[in-house]
Amino acid sequence: MTNKGLLTMLAAVTAVCGLSGNLQAQAPADGKTPGITSANDPTKPVPGGVRWFGRMHADYVNQTKANKFDVCFMGDSITQMWPADMFGKYFGRFKAVNFGIGGDRCENVLFRLNDGELQGATPKVIVLMIGTNNQGMNTAEEVAIGVTAVVKALREKCPKSKILLLGILPSTGTPYEKTKAINTITAKLADRNMIEFQDFGPKLQDKEGKILPGMLADTVHLTRQGYEVWGKEVGPTISKMVRR
């Protein structure tokens, strides 16, 4: 992507989502989300279409009501599929819970937040990785708008919680230039106060940008080796954010 193209995308997302302000979205006069031309609108909350969505969402609402966690991971199958032993190894000391649901897109996480997840909870840190499943349905700009909408919703739902936004990871199913364009935009959400951005995707790649052997189990999901990279890279960041 050219610098001109990137600047155009940044300007568009800023106009829609208020990146330079407090993430307050502009209200569209005609009910349509500005900047969204695809059939799929990542800013309109809808339940996930997978058969396990309702069951997992209900479980996360119950965990929210119990409110016995300090760190909450939210995302899609890449988050959901954290091996339990490794999740405990890297994040157990933070009283962390995993609210990942396979198949989720930005709009599905928005539905979950509107339907009870994290309602009344005050985790110290929310770790968010979302947008992977939007890449095949939306433009890079639209995915960035969707991710921004989720961050905005989290800030409104849990104003005292810090957010660690993770960049979308490289895969063999989406051109990495598109993924990088999304991450470049959403990185602008970081305010060095309540929102941090971290992209450990390059740690999964060699110097030429190719995914290192043994990191992916298929086209997108991580192996245990891949989760080792995630844990080692993100664990120290969470530790700093929890203490801050």
DSSP string, 3-54: HHHHHHHHHHHHHHH-TTTTSPPPPPTTSSPTT--SSS-TTS-----STTHH
Q: Predicted confidence band at 23 (pLDDT cuts at 50, 70, 90)? A: very low
Active site residue 30: no
Find the mean pLDDT for residues 39-59.
97
Amino acid 244: pLDDT: 86
Residue 47 counted as domain residue: yes
Domain with residue 55: its CATH number is: 3.40.50.1110
Dihedral, 171, 172, 178, 181 alpha carbons, nearest 10: 30
pLDDT digits (tens, 9 = 90+) for 139-177: 999 999 999 999 999 999 999 999 999 999 999 999 999
Active site residue 41: no
pLDDT digits (tens, 9 = 90+) for 185-209: 999 999 989 999 999 999 999 999 9
Catalytic residue among 70, 77, 115, 239: 77
Residue 59 counted as domain residue: yes
Q: How many whole angstroms separate alpha carbon 239 and alpha carbon 90?
A: 10
Catalytic residue among 85, 191, 206, 218: 218
Query: What is the count of structural domains for the chain?
Result: 1
Catalytic residue among 104, 161, 171, 221: 221
Average pLDDT score, the chain: 91
Find the mean pLDDT for residues 126-131.
98
Q: Are strands 96-100 and 162-166 parallel, antiparallel or unpaired?
A: unpaired
Residue 40 counted as domain residue: yes
Residue 124 counted as domain residue: yes
Q: Which domain does 43 fall in, by range?
A: 3-21+35-243
Find the mean pLDDT for residues 82-104.
98
236: pLDDT strictly greater than 70: yes
Its pTM stands at 0.90
Q: How many whole angstroms separate alpha carbon 119 and alpha carbon 115?
A: 8
Q: Which two tokens stand for residue 228?
A: 């080792």
What element of type H or E holds 163? strand 162-166
Top-confidence residue, 195 or 12: 195
Q: How many whole angstroms separate alpha carbon 173 and alpha carbon 24?
A: 33
Q: Is 212 helix (H, G, I), strand (E, B) or coil?
A: coil
Residue located via tokens 């396979």? 102
Cβ(190)–Cβ(165) under 8 Å? yes
117: pLDDT strictly greater than 60: yes
24: pLDDT strictly greater than 80: no
Residue 30 counted as domain residue: no
What's the length of the chain?
Answer: 244
16: pLDDT strictly greater than 60: no
Q: Which two tokens stand for residue 132?
A: 């992977």
Amino acid 10: pLDDT: 52
Dihedral, 8, 9, 14, 20 alpha carbons, nearest 10: -80
What element of type H or E holds 181? helix 176-186
What element of type H or E holds 128? strand 125-129
Q: How many whole angstroms separate alpha carbon 43 and alpha carbon 149?
A: 6
Active site residue 221: yes
Find the mean pLDDT for residues 75-103.
98
Cβ(16)–Cβ(34) under 8 Å? yes
Q: Are strands 195-198 and 125-129 parallel, antiparallel or unpaired?
A: unpaired
Residue 26 counted as domain residue: no
Amino acid 19: pLDDT: 42
Residue 211 counted as domain residue: yes
